Amino acid sequence: DAGVIQSPRHEVTEMGQEVTLRCKPISGHNSLFWYRQTMMRGLELLIYFNNNVPIDDSGMPEDRFSAKMPNASFSTLKIQPSEPRDSAVYFCASSRGQTDTIYFGEGSWLTVV
Amino acid sequence: RKEVEQDPGPFNVPEGATVAFNCTYSNSASQSFFWYRQDCRKEPKLLMSVYSSGNEDGRFTAQLNRASQYISLLIRDSKLSDSATYLCVLNNRGGGFKTIFGAGTRLFVKA
């Protein structure tokens, strides 16, 4: 079975540019999560969706970050404009229900220079 | 106080050693608990769930102590391949649903 699929795997961009990260959750999973991981702050939950509806976006750092889930098989996390402090690994994850095992994608490694 | 606290380590142990990690949590409403493993430059993956009665999976044993609000992971007969970061994870249901990840404990197993 296909796992959570993320793209791009790696991105290097210049400060001020727009970054769009994409995610395809595991088929049949109703919950989707976006996490950010850095050495300093560890793994942080940015936002999660249940049945395509954003439930908790309190972890989104600021207005430069936005996330959408237009259908059950696709989600995006957008950063506009990007800043060097946004450099991190961004993980998308999904689970069958809100309290079920969370499965992570391989991550999108973002570097903003 | 952080919702989940782990000793960051690193723990450096020889092959064959037994090593134990603890994780404390502050929210008594926490309902389910897990240990995840994360290899260097990889995504976190579920290692095992943690049940109230304690559970074992091969060389790995997980325990939950609700009274003292901690969970533990014991690894027996450590292998080089056990070198990774181990993340304590819990689900809180009080005031809505939330999954909390600990910062992780790094383990290095040496030959």
Residues 6+ apart with CB under 8 A from A58: none
Q: Compute CA A64 distance to the chain's CA centroid, rounded to the nearest angstrom.
A: 14
Nearest neighbour of A98 by CB, restricted to B43, B97, B102: B97
| Distance of residue A90 Cα from the nearest chain B Cα, in angstroms | 10
For a pLDDT cut of 70, what percent of chain B falls above it? Answer: 95
| Confidence tier at B14 by pLDDT (50, 70, 90) | very high
List residues bridging with B57 in a β-sheet: B60
**What average pLDDT does the structure give for chain B?**
91
Q: Residue B1: pLDDT above 80? A: no
* Mean pLDDT, range B4-33, rounded to an integer: 91
**Among candidates B31, B43, B102 on the partner chain, residue whose Cβ is nearest the Cβ of A104:** B43
Please answer yes or no on whether A107 and B43 come within 8 Å at the CB atom.
yes
pLDDT beyond 90 at B107:
yes
Dihedral angle sign, alpha carbons of residues B51, B48, B45, A4? negative
Residues 6+ apart with CB under 8 A from B67: none
**Strand-pair category, A10-13 with A108-112:** parallel
**Neighboring chain B residues of A106 at a CB cutoff of 8 Å:** 42-43
**Is residue B92 pLDDT above 80, yes or no?**
no
Q: Name chain B contacts of A110, Cβ cutoff 8 Å.
A: none
Asked whether the beta carbons of A30 and A51 are under 8 A apart, the reply is yes
Residues A25-53 have a mean pLDDT of 93
Mean pLDDT of chain A: 94
> What is the CA angle A85-A89-A93, rounded to 5?
130
pLDDT-based confidence at residue A62 (cuts at 50, 70, 90): confident
Contact residues of B toward A, CB < 8 A: 31-32, 34, 42-46, 49, 87, 89, 91, 93, 96-99, 101-104
B39-91 confidence digits (pLDDT tens): 999 999 999 999 888 899 999 999 999 999 999 999 999 999 999 999 999 98
CA distance B105 to B111: 20
Could you tell me if A8 and A109 are in contact, meaning their C-beta atoms sit under 8 angstroms apart?
A: no
In the Cβ-directed half-sphere of A22, how many Cα atoms lie within 13 Å? 8
Within a 13 Å sphere around the CA of B21, how many CA atoms are in the beta-carbon half? 30
Q: Is the pLDDT of residue A45 over 80?
A: yes
> What pLDDT score was predicted for residue B52?
85
Residue A57 and residue A16: Cα distance in Å, rounded? 23
Question: Residues A70-78: what's their mean pLDDT?
Answer: 97
